[in-house]
Structure 1
Amino acid sequence: MVPETPSAPATAAAAGATKQDLHRALREALQTAPPTGSSDGAGGFPRAWWAHLGRCGMLGLGFSLDGRPSAADAVQVSALAGQITHATGSLGLGMAWMMQQMLGRYVLGPLVQQGAAGALDASHALLTKLLASMAAGECLLALAISEPGVGAQPKHLRTRAVQPSGAAGDGDWVLDGHKAFVSNGPAADAIIVLAVSAVHEGRKRFDAFLLDAQTPGLTREANARVQGLAPLGHCDLRLESCRVPASRRIGPPGRAFETIARPVRAVEDALLLGPLLGAMQCELEALAHALGTSAVAAGTADTAASDAVRELGALQLEWQALHAVRDAVARQLEVHGCDDALAFATVGARRLLERWQTAYENAWEAASQALGIAALPSLTRDLRLVLGIARGVAHSRQLQTGQQLLQSLHP
């Protein structure tokens, strides 16, 4: 639930703070935070840890609370999410932080600006309070778009929102449907739900609704198909006659898919490179530690040991080079927004990270057979899970790019 009077988060980093300032402030906040392993909130989420980051001013870095520029741009948000992932050893926590910045800046931020200009007066005060609550660590927000068996394909989405006629309606909306794979859903205090609100000339029109997690008729269900990324939980949502006040329909009428769902996918893909590289740094350190406690540490100079150390160095150099790719993609988002160039750039970047991950796993396997090191770190499973998201879309864009190249050479 969105608090009536959100606490004011500490101002740890003002707009215009340098990259070094932001990383230093975040590092200090993480060093003084409670343990992340204590699941003291719904869905196993470390609420005390999250609230501490809020008090330190670390949860609102990527979005604006007062119309001024945010402290962190897209490049910095991606890098800071990677810092959280590395410091905690949790890809799930890095992604949870990144997603709150994404929702605050790219979903709620534009709506608040439109409300300030008088275009969306009804929800302006509500969304302003919500942003403040998110920055203070008092409200976790989730976004529900996908549905079982159809993903986020708009023509197949079935969750509906209707306004009952007559006095009983009072302008309220009633939502019915089933959402799937809701990130942070188990712990969320509020959820933005996209639903079909009309059909015009055979095309579905969507609206977005802000629901408190305790809304009558809204239930959360575990989804066994998503395993990993703890404590970033995933769940399904069942909506059965959920009554939502008209003031909680947010955004331009009938345009939620174009203004929220479509850009969010591209933004998430771009910003995800940061936490992925943070997790890969943890993997590198795990391999270095394993090699350091094996025959390599004993000074064994055989070929297997030398090969393992050389491959470790090669992976480190490639990992460092991938930071330039991360920054270039995030800068594309910052400067040009969610255009086609960004969508294709993220596909190329993700492929580079997939190749690095495969090389890492091969290096670990070779060292395991030759030197007897332990099994792969558990973080590897989370990385593979995230790298496999939206693979069908990536394949489609790869095919499109290949066809365009062929046509340019053979018109």
Structure 2
Amino acid sequence: MKQSSNMEIARRIDDWWSIAKYDVLTDPFGRMAKAALFQIGIPGAGAALDTYSAIASAEQAITAKTGILGLASAFTARLTMARFFIAGFANKDQCDTWLPRVAAGQTCVAVAVSEPGAGAHPKRLQTIAEPRQGGFMIHGRKAWVTNGPIADIFLVLAVTAVEDERERYGLFLIPREMPGLIVKQMPVLDALAPGSHCELEFDGCEVPATARIGDMPEAYPAMALPFRDVEDTIGTANVCGFLSWQLENSAAHIAQSEDNASRLGRIAGLVSLVHAASRLAVAALDGEGQEDPARIIGVRQLAHDIVDEICDLLPSDGAKDDVIGRELAAHDLLSTIARESRKVRQIRLGNSLWSEKQ
């Protein structure tokens, strides 16, 4: 199954590359749709591609070919959000309506959890969904909505009730054209292009009861919280692709010597370990093996060290191309996303080592 999946993904990546390689950022997602890349990871595309591992493989391949982290992460966000939230929690009618459109590249899904000045902390979120006859009235604001400027539908987390001083959350599927929903531009982060973000404002946005995704009483621990881990895990594939691209493209700027050859060989070995650890981590999302938080921490830290070591080998006189410099800036920026949640996991892991000895 894995071999057939990898071969099919490689074929589609080659199809995409044949039409995009000379101008990758012109209509990037339209060209991906032509190569059927948006079918990857979406139920209905065939068992071989119906996995998180398939999404990660495509993401890694895109970054390895282009070095453009923002392109790969924007591509992957569309698929991961659709697979996790819609395929994972939506009812049959919702899945039948939206998943084929996502797979065809006709519909872009964006998830709205974070809010201005609050981040994604559940005790600070203030967007509310007031029950009304036959539906909900939504008021509030969201920020840093990935792919928001090009999204067709938004999955919005909102407070539906407060019980015993604790907020209860629901997730709502809201089309972009819904009255009362205002999409606001945010400053463009050039390093992450063509990835983009926006703010959302809900001013009496009324949605039907059928807009709610899932029937659980509390969507935050059931959806928003685990999605952070899914997103972070699949994101290691982007890191792997970037390491391969950086190593290949930096080598031409590194002076040839026995010492540098030895260091490059060592780095190549470490990159191979990062790739293997990433594959194991993503496979666990598909039920193959056990999830291990230490693995993700190790991948992120080792990748950071590898990037630093490659940069240390580059000449200090600035004799490297602008593309490498730009993507290094993108790597640094992406590494700050979800940094606090990673720190929490790292502390928890460290504390567990003390607990085991007591």
Indicate whether the TM-score tops 0.5.
yes
- The worse-fitting range, judged by mean Cα deviation, of 224-233 and 388-397 is 224-233
TM-score, structure 2 as length reference: 0.90
**1:17 counterpart = 2:16:** no
Query: What is the rounded CA distance, in whole Å, between the counterparts of 1:142 and 1:373 in structure 2?
Result: 36
**CA offset at residue 159 of structure 1?**
0.5
1:69–1:85 distance in 2 versus 1, CA, 3 Å:
same
User: Which of 223, 231, 243 lines up with 2:186 in the alignment?
Assistant: 223
Letter matched to residue 232 of structure 1: G
Q: Which residue does the alignment assign to 1:63?
A: 42
Given the alignment of the two structures, is residue 381 of structure 1 paired with residue 333 of structure 2, yes or no?
no
What SS class does the counterpart of residue 126 from structure 1 fall into? helix
Q: Among residues 266, 282, 286, which one is paired with 2:249 in the alignment?
A: 286
Q: Partner letter of residue 30 of structure 1?
A: W
Query: Do the aligned residues in 2 keep the contact of 1:92 with 1:231 (CA within 8 Å)?
Result: yes
What's the CA shift for 1:350? 1.5
Kindly provide the CA deviation profile for residues 170-223 of structure 1, in whole angstroms up to 9, marking residues without a partner as x. 413111111111110111111111100111222111111111112222222333
- How is 1:41-80 mapped onto 2 (pairs within 5 angstroms)? 46=27, 49-65=28-44, 69=47, 71-80=49-58
**377-386 or 251-260, larger mean C-alpha shift:** 251-260
Pairs within 5 Å for 1:195-344: 195-224=158-187, 226=189, 228-291=191-254, 296=256, 305-335=257-287, 341-344=291-294
- 8 Å CA contact 1:174, 1:243 repeated in 2: yes
Distance in 2 (CA, whole Å) between partners of 1:234 and 1:313 is 39
- Describe the SS at the equivalent of 1:239: strand
Q: 1:15, 1:69 within 8 Å by CA — same for their partners in 2? A: no
The answer (yes or no) to whether the contact 2:108–2:152 under 8 Å persists in 1 is: yes
Structure 1 pair 227/373, CA: closer, same or farther in 2 (3 Å)? closer
Match of 1:189 among 152, 161, 164: 152
Partner residue in 2 for 1:32? 19
Give the whole-Å Cα distance in 1 for the aligned partners of 2:344 and 2:249: 35
User: Which residue of the partner structure matches residue 118 of structure 2?
Assistant: 150
Instruction: Indicate the SS of the match to 1:207.
Output: strand
Q: Which moved more, 1:73-82 or 1:259-268?
A: 73-82
Q: 8 Å contact 2:114–2:143 — kept in the other structure?
A: yes
Q: Cα distance, 1:74 vs. partner?
A: 2.4
Helix, strand or coil at the partner of 1:155: coil
> Post-superposition shift, 1:36?
2.9
Shift of 1:110: 2.2
Distance 1:402 1:334 in 2: 26
**CA–CA distance in 2 between the matches of 1:333 and 1:253?**
21
Unaligned runs of 5+ in 2: none
Give the match for residue 86 of structure 2: 108
Distance 1:208 1:308, change over 3 A: same
SS at match of 2:169: strand
CA offset digits 1:362-405 (Å, max 9, x no partner) = 233xx224x94456521011111111222222222222222222
Residue 309 of structure 1 and its aligned partner are, at CA, apart by 4.0
Identity %: 27
| Alignment-derived partner of residue 109 in structure 2 | 141
- How many angstroms does 1:104 deviate by? 2.4
Instruction: Determine the C-alpha separation between the residues in 2 that align with 1:203 and 1:345.
Output: 33
Q: Does 1:398 align with 2:321?
A: no
Q: Do 2:140 and 2:202's aligned partners in 1 also have CA atoms closer than 8 Å?
A: yes
Q: By how many angstroms is 1:70 displaced?
A: 5.5
More deviation in 342-351 or 240-249? 342-351
Distance 1:130 1:348 in 2: 36
The root-mean-square deviation of aligned C-alpha atoms, in Å, is 2.6
Please give the alpha-carbon distance, in whole angstroms, between the structure 2 residues aligned to 1:251 and 1:210.
10
- State the structure with more CA Rg: 1
SS of the equivalent of 1:156 reads coil
SS at match of 1:335: coil
Match of 1:42 in 2: none
Matches of 1:55 and 1:224, distance apart in 2: 30
Q: How far 1:23 moved relative to its partner? A: 1.3
| Aligned amino acid, residue 322 of structure 1 | V
Return the alpha-carbon distance in structure 2 between the equivalents of residues 26 and 212 of structure 1.
30
Determine the C-alpha separation between the residues in 1 that align with 2:213 and 2:286: 24
Structure 1: which 5+ residue stretches go unaligned? 1-13, 39-45, 116-123, 165-169, 297-304
1-side partners of 2:127 and 2:230: how far apart? 24
